[in-house]
Amino acid sequence: GQQLNQSPQSMFIQEGEDVSMNCTSSSIFNTWLWYKQEPGEGPVLLIALYKAGELTSNGRLTAQFGITRKDSFLNISASIPSDVGIYFCAGPYTGANSKLTFGKGITLSVRP
Amino acid sequence: NAGVTQTPKFQVLKTGQSMTLQCAQDMNHNSMYWYRQDPGMGLRLIYYSASEGTTDKGEVPNGYNVSRLNKREFSLRLESAAPSQTSVYFCATGGFGVSGKLFFGSGTQLSVL
């Protein structure tokens, strides 16, 4: 099946640092999405990417759709304590744009 | 404007008991989904409904049934709960033409003893 790989499972950074996460797959995706989940809540969409090579920003967050269409990257600059949470990459199942498969997520901790 | 509302927020069941998780949306979206989240496993799709009147299995449908009652409501039923169904359950909705842009409820934490 289509799997999205995210590692490591956890990341610990100091407030003010930049952090980069990536997501890879053995399958080609035509859409890449990044979601963030805060404790006790459902995931919230951060950035959506629809074109190979696309680079999109949302405040301090920047995401890129890999040229091979098999990977995507999320960068957070100048981290702050409220960046803590679980970051998921996601993409639609082949031939079913309305269904998403999710990576296992990366738990980000930010030390003040 | 509540978005996606799930009830209950928490539930404890004994093995073999049944229950229904409710989900309602006021976003006028066609598609609705049920995911489960387990530690280290990410979000896995249980069932989805692309439109009113249709439902389809996702990645992990065994032990569950769903009903798309109308455009607003999509329920998930556990007929005979098992400890392996201990999880956090999320309902999500998505609109036509907004690929991947799912909106999630705040989840139901279910424990099966």
CA distance between the termini of chain B? 36
Environment class of residue A34 by beta-carbon count within 10 Å: exposed (0-12), middle (13-18) or buried (19+)?
A: buried
A97 pLDDT higher than 70: no
Residue scoring higher pLDDT (A31 or A94): A31
Of the candidates B33, B42, B45, the beta carbon closest to that of A104 is on B42
CB contacts under 8 A, A 39-68 vs B, are 40-45, 48, 50
Distance from CA of B105 to the nearest CA of A (A): 6
Band of pLDDT at residue B71, cut at 50, 70 and 90 = very high
Q: Are the C-beta atoms of B84 and B46 separated by less than 8 Å?
A: no
Residue scoring higher pLDDT (A18 or B42): A18
Band of pLDDT at residue B41, cut at 50, 70 and 90 = confident
Q: What percent of chain A has pLDDT over 90?
A: 77
Q: Are the C-beta atoms of A101 and B51 separated by less than 8 Å?
A: no
